[in-house]
Amino acid sequence: MRSNTTVCAVIPTRNRCQLVQRAVRSALAQDYADLEVVVVIDGPDGATEEVLAEISDDRLRVLGLPRQVGAARARNLGVAAARADWIAFLDDDDEWFREKTTLQMREALNSRYRYPIVSSRLIARNSQYDLVWPRSLPSKPLSEYLLSRKGWSYGEGLLSTTTLLFPKDLYRQVPFQADLARHQDLEWVLRATEHAGAGLEFVPEPLAVWNLAEQRKSISTSADWRSSFRWLESVREMITRRAYAGFIATYLAPQASRQRAWRDFPFLVKRLIADGAPSAHDILLFLGMWLVPPGARRWIRQEGR
């Protein structure tokens, strides 16, 4: 049971000392008074420890792990270390706006759900422009909102990890799956929103900055369609057939095309049609990911932003 309204910002990090310092300062600058920040350093990282030691604020605690365990398990350890009854995730290369926690806690405390999961829009920022994502408000079924597209560009349906706020007692029952290689955030949202008493709340204002230009190459950003396909198969019971087809068209097709996996094209077509329920748009999107050159796809996305 929740006994306080303290919010803990949990920030996993490794070898990104300047970026995590910015993220921490944005959390500590919240206009919400009842706040703590737990940074989990994922493995030995003296530079990050030194930079964080420069921040003199008794609301900040740093948990240094003796070995690297991965972002999902680092988040789990950060939540376990939190003294607060409410948890908010912040990625180390992102930032919060000053009013984020206040507006989200207002939504959470007025929620009809026992376990409200609160998200919001954000500013997706690169070196050329800012975009407000998601362009569409969350809708049901949630799996189709997250995994399918109705348009041609990114950012249509999104619940970014860096915008999530929720009760700690929900997370005790539904932690991140640390053994997943990819898409842990999507899997958690799908699983957590199905938990008894849980439901999604959404603040339509942008409350965070997602710094796209500073995202490092990692498991989550590299092209590995087979790993993503294994994840898709593992969540089939939680998603609709339309969402299944949408994920193949939106995620797997561009990954496979970047890998020049032309021999796998028939396999993905078969899965798209036999196991999914694709719309005409899904089929066109799938084909476009294979047939339209990457430069042309980037131009289409920019024109559609």
pLDDT in tens, the chain (305 residues): 677 899 999 999 999 999 999 999 999 999 999 999 999 999 999 999 999 999 999 999 999 999 999 999 999 999 999 999 999 999 999 999 999 999 999 999 999 999 999 999 999 998 888 999 999 999 999 999 999 988 877 889 999 999 999 999 999 999 999 988 889 999 999 999 999 999 999 999 999 999 987 665 444 445 589 999 999 999 999 999 999 999 999 999 999 998 999 999 999 999 999 999 999 999 999 999 998 766 555 545 555 55
The CATH number given to whatever domain includes residue 17 is 3.90.550.10
Are 178 and 72 in contact by the 8 Å Cβ rule? The answer is: yes
56 in a structural domain:
yes
Together in a domain, 133 and 16: yes
Together in a domain, 204 and 229: no
| Structural domain harbouring 64 | 7-214
117 in a structural domain:
yes
53 in a structural domain:
yes
Together in a domain, 184 and 79: yes
Q: What is the DSSP letter of 216?
A: P
Buried b (16+ CB within 10 A) or exposed e, 256-273: bbeeebeebeeebbebbe
1 in a structural domain:
no
Tell me how far apart the terminal alpha carbons of the chain are, to the nearest angstrom.
43
Together in a domain, 119 and 252: no
Together in a domain, 110 and 189: yes
Considering 188, 214, 240, which residue would you say is the last residue of a domain?
A: 214
Strands 115-125 and 7-13: unpaired
Together in a domain, 116 and 28: yes
120 in a structural domain:
yes
Together in a domain, 288 and 177: no
Together in a domain, 106 and 201: yes
Reported pTM: 0.92
Total domain count, the chain: 2
Considering 150, 180, 214, which residue would you say is the last residue of a domain?
A: 214
Together in a domain, 15 and 143: yes
Together in a domain, 172 and 89: yes
Rg (CA), the chain: 19
188 in a structural domain:
yes
28 in a structural domain:
yes
Together in a domain, 14 and 138: yes
Considering 151, 180, 214, which residue would you say is the last residue of a domain?
A: 214
2 in a structural domain:
no
Together in a domain, 195 and 48: yes
The two structure tokens encoding residue 215: 């995202």
